[in-house]
Amino acid sequence: MTAAAPLGILGGTFDPVHNAHLAIARHALEALGLERVLWLPTGTPPYRRAPLASTADRVAMLRLAIAGEPRYALDERELAPGASGYSVDTLGALRRELGEAVPLVLLVGSDQFAKLDTWHRWRELFALCHLAVFARPDWDLGANPAAREALEARRAAPRGRWRERPAGAIVVVEMAPLAVAGTEIRALLARGADASGLLPRAVLDYIESHRLYRA
C-alpha cells in the first residue's frame, strides 16, 4: 500500500505574515514532497509576547498571502478560546483527527530547533510528527546537547524513507538565509519606512489601508 503523502504544518504569530514564511512553505512543498502546508496562526500563548495586530487582522493578512495556492490551507484552532497554544497539544489534536498513518511534518527554523529543550513536552513531539529544520548549510546547534543528541539519533534526508512513517524523524532542509524578520518589518512600518519587497503586495496594501503597526 502506498504511504500517505506528508502534511506540513507551519505555525507562528504571523504578525505580519511575510516573504520568509512563504519561502519556507514553498521550499517545504518541493524539498519534502508535501501534499500541502497547513498554516496555524497562534493566539496569545503563555510563552511569548502578545501580537501587535489583532487576531482578525492577522487571519485576514494570512488569507491574502496564501490565496491562489491550492496546496495551502488555514487552520484557526489555536485562536479558539481556551486553546493551549503549545505545539504538542495541537499536533495531538491533528493526529487524532487525521489518523495514525498520515506523516505530519512540523516546519521550524534552525534557531527554534536549537532551543528544542525549552519546548513544552518536547520529547512527546516525536511520537506525533517529524520535524523539518530549515537551516543554512553551515548552521550550528550551539551549546544545546538535547537538540544535538536528538538530531544525531533521528536525522534523515529530505527525500528519505522517513516519508513511510507517520512521525519520529528530524529532516534538515538546507535553505539560503532570508534577511526578513517580523521585528524588522514592524519597526519599518512604525516609522513609515518602505517595507515593500519584504511582504506580499496584498498584505502590505492591507496593512496600509487598516493603518496597522503605526507608531
How far, in Å, CA of 73 to CA of 58, rounded? 15
Q: For residue 84, what are the contacts with CB-CB under 8 A and spacing of at least 6?
A: 45, 90
> Is 210 inside a domain boundary?
no
Q: Residues 53-70: pLDDT tens digits?
A: 999 999 999 999 999 999
Q: For residue 169, what are the contacts with CB-CB under 8 A and spacing of at least 6?
A: 130, 131, 154, 155, 156, 160, 162
109 strand-pairing partners:
134
How far, in Å, CA of 10 to CA of 22, rounded? 10
Q: Is residue 1 pLDDT above 50, yes or no?
A: no
> Is 122 inside a domain boundary?
yes
Q: Residues 120-165: pLDDT tens digits?
A: 999 999 999 999 999 887 777 767 899 999 999 999 999 899 999 9
Asked if residues 129 and 104 have their Cβ atoms less than 8 Å apart, the reply is yes
Query: 98 — alpha (psi -120 to 50), left (phi > 0) or beta?
Result: alpha
What does the pLDDT read at residue 158? 92
User: Region 178-191: what's the mean pLDDT?
Assistant: 88
Asked if residues 130 and 162 have their Cβ atoms less than 8 Å apart, the reply is yes
User: Region 161-171: what's the mean pLDDT?
Assistant: 96
Q: What would the grid cell of residue 5 be? A: 503523502
To the nearest whole number, what is the mean pLDDT of the chain?
92
Rounded percentage of the chain residues whose pLDDT exceeds 70: 97
Question: How many domains does the structure of the chain reveal?
Answer: 1
> Is 146 inside a domain boundary?
yes
Q: Is residue 3 pLDDT above 80, yes or no?
A: no
Rounded percentage of the chain residues whose pLDDT exceeds 90: 78
Q: Which residues of 138-160 are buried (b: 16+ CB within 10 A; e: fewer)?
A: ebebeebebbeebbeeeebebee
> Is 91 inside a domain boundary?
yes
How far, in Å, CA of 70 to CA of 55, rounded? 23
What does the pLDDT read at residue 33? 95
What does the pLDDT read at residue 181? 85
> Is 183 inside a domain boundary?
no
How far, in Å, CA of 63 to CA of 59, rounded? 6
What does the pLDDT read at residue 215? 76
> Is 53 inside a domain boundary?
yes
Q: Residues 79-104: pLDDT tens digits?
A: 999 888 899 999 999 999 999 999 99
> Is 2 inside a domain boundary?
no
The CATH number given to whatever domain includes residue 36 is 3.40.50.620
Domain boundaries, position 74 = 7-178
Q: Where are the alpha helices (DSSP H) in the chain?
A: 19-32, 55-66, 87-98, 110-113, 145-154, 182-190, 201-209
Q: What would the grid cell of residue 51 be? A: 501580537
Q: What would the grid cell of residue 173 be? A: 532542509
To which residue does cell 490565496 refer?
Answer: 67
More confident of the two residues 5 and 170: 170
With cut-offs at 50, 70 and 90, classify the pLDDT of residue 47: low
How far, in Å, CA of 101 to CA of 95, rounded? 9
> Is 215 inside a domain boundary?
no
